[in-house]
Structure 1
Amino acid sequence: MASKDLRPSPPPPPPGPVPTPAAPGVIARMLQSLRALPEARHNPSAAPGSTGLAGWFKAETPPPLEDVTARFHAVYARVRDNEAVLPDEARRHQYLLIKGMLGDELPGYLDDNQRRLEERGLETRGVAVDTEGRLLDNVAVVREALLDARHFRRSVVLVGHSKGGVEALSALALHPELREVVRAVVTLQAPYGGSVIANDLVASPALRRLVDVAFPSLFQGDGASVEDLSYARRQDFVRRHPYPAGIPTVSLATSRLSRRSVLRPLCAYVHERYGWGCDGLVAALDAEIPGSRVVRLGDMDHAEAAMTGLPGFSNYFPSALTETMVALALDAPRF
């Protein structure tokens, strides 16, 4: 039952503009290089391309516990109507938000998500990962945040978008002893199985050189962080360090093929080349976390979960999305 203490705040202001996508010439050159890749055949880890790799882990790991998409839509509608949806326990936890790749470079990234939780009277903290850094380095940062919570006898809800979700899951896979402080995990479009775009980028010699040069020079990052999300790297990690069972987890898996999406060129590339539903960076199948309750949306791109968009172009609000996902996560019992 919803708590009477957690009264909704006034409706949020109209969403601001979303950053414009990369210059058409840049996207065109990238797509041209991607489309020139040969198809993967007998050895996907060595051959270019991603054919047959989306959702590879489903045959090896527990399937999602439940499809809660219908429940999501019902709760999301209540949030948009400014109704209280968070349970009584919500204020007892600290909410750790973890940004995805390039999150520090994008103005407003996860701001709307975090602000909504704070408006509901919840304590939030952004985990200071290097959004252009390597997976294991960032896992160490997440681990320190969990150790801090354990030291102060706090329970936490992890909320990670994109690569940030992978880092949250990986921290618990590598350090299962810290699950005791984690009440729930929310992943938003996390490429648990790998990112088809990241995989194809590192498979193209020309694009791989671009990544290796651009990340250090433009973002002071490590180009190998893109390879961390390739299918080969994710297969190796997940097989050695599977996500622990029993942690209440809600995962968001999305796709969108719409002319109103800023990521349409990449969504169309994945659809035309592989036939997969994709949000522009992650195939929907790869974001369905094993053992989780999964929300499947076919009308959301990768930007919409973390950045407010132009009216008429985005279908969801990051603030309402996050509040809904947290409500669903806390609705699941602690095992």
Structure 2
Amino acid sequence: MELIVCKLIKGDIRALEDLTYAKRKDFISQHKLPIDELPIISFHTEASTAPTALASLTRVAQAELLPWLPLPRFFLSASEFVESMLASLKVPVVAPVSAAMAVTALHLRLRYGERSDGLVTRRDAEVPGSVVVRPERRLDHAWMVYSTLKMGSAEADASEMCEALLAMLVEIGRKKFC
């Protein structure tokens, strides 16, 4: 962990102390949220711990290959070759993010009896006095930053979910303060 925090991201290892449960509870008790002045939404999910989640890879980005890489031409016309070449220049970058979140969610459930998104328990994600959104869909903590693969899917992707939450926040603010 020290290698990742100190060397890779050039951080301070002491900052991890602020992520402990005791420090978080202490901070929240000392810094009350202005529930009466600001509309607040608590959004929390639960990571899937099914075997498929434990064995899955998540698309986290896409890499663009250099255009001068030789690609097989086989039986394509010139225009088809150019089109296929441009399409093949983008390759997905995958990492076992969902699998890692599933493992930590399973650990939190077995050790503490709490359901979580892999990092934050559902109970701790709710701010007292806030409007709470609890989607039924199983999503882990890192879902909001994933690169979306499916276009035209019936389920909302991260950007659509953020847009809906912001619209909801504006509507709550209008009703509360107007």
TM-score range, shorter chain: 0.5 to 0.7
User: Rg: which structure is higher?
Assistant: 2
Match of 1:292 in 2: 130
What secondary structure, in the 3-state scheme, does the structure 2 residue paired with 1:320 have?
helix
The number of residues matched between the two structures is 122
Match of 1:332 in 2: 172
What secondary structure, in the 3-state scheme, does the structure 2 residue paired with 1:297 have?
coil
Match of 1:305 in 2: 144
Match of 1:248 in 2: 39
Task: Indicate the larger mover: 323-332 or 298-307.
Answer: 298-307
CA displacement at 1:309 relative to structure 2: 4.7
CA displacement at 1:245 relative to structure 2: 2.1
Residue by residue over 1:88-146, the C-alpha shift from the partner in whole angstroms, topping out at 9 and shown as x without a partner, is: xxxxxxxxxxxxxxxxxxxxxxxxxxxxxxxxxxxxxxxxxxxxxxxxxxxxxxxxxxx
Runs of 4+ aligned structure 1 residues displaced above 3 Å come to: none
Match of 2:13 in 1: 223
CA displacement at 1:275 relative to structure 2: 1.8
Compared with structure 1, are the counterparts of its residues 215 and 282 closer, same or farther at alpha carbon in structure 2 (3 Å cutoff)? same
Compared with structure 1, are the counterparts of its residues 320 and 282 closer, same or farther at alpha carbon in structure 2 (3 Å cutoff)? same
Structure 2: gaps spanning 5 or more residues: 54-97
Choose from 93, 102, 105 the match for 1:264: 102
Q: Distance in 2 between matches of 1:308 and 1:325?
A: 19
Do the aligned residues in 2 keep the contact of 1:304 with 1:316 (CA within 8 Å)?
A: no
Do the aligned residues in 2 keep the contact of 1:271 with 1:278 (CA within 8 Å)?
A: yes
Larger RCO (alpha carbons 8 Å, 6+ apart): 2
Do the aligned residues in 2 keep the contact of 1:300 with 1:316 (CA within 8 Å)?
A: no
Structure 1: gaps spanning 5 or more residues: 1-209
Q: Distance in 1 between matches of 2:115 and 2:123?
A: 8
Compared with structure 1, are the counterparts of its residues 316 and 266 closer, same or farther at alpha carbon in structure 2 (3 Å cutoff)? farther
Match of 1:239 in 2: 29
Matches within 5 A, 1:61-80: none
Normalised to the residue count of structure 2, the TM-score between the two structures is 0.61
CA displacement at 1:214 relative to structure 2: 2.9
CA displacement at 1:310 relative to structure 2: 4.8
Cα RMSD over matched residues? 1.9
Compared with structure 1, are the counterparts of its residues 287 and 228 closer, same or farther at alpha carbon in structure 2 (3 Å cutoff)? same
Normalised to the residue count of structure 1, the TM-score between the two structures is 0.34
Q: Distance in 2 between matches of 1:266 and 1:297?
A: 20
Q: Distance in 2 between matches of 1:222 and 1:264?
A: 27
Residue by residue over 1:167-191, the C-alpha shift from the partner in whole angstroms, topping out at 9 and shown as x without a partner, is: xxxxxxxxxxxxxxxxxxxxxxxxx
Q: Distance in 1 between matches of 2:122 and 2:128?
A: 13
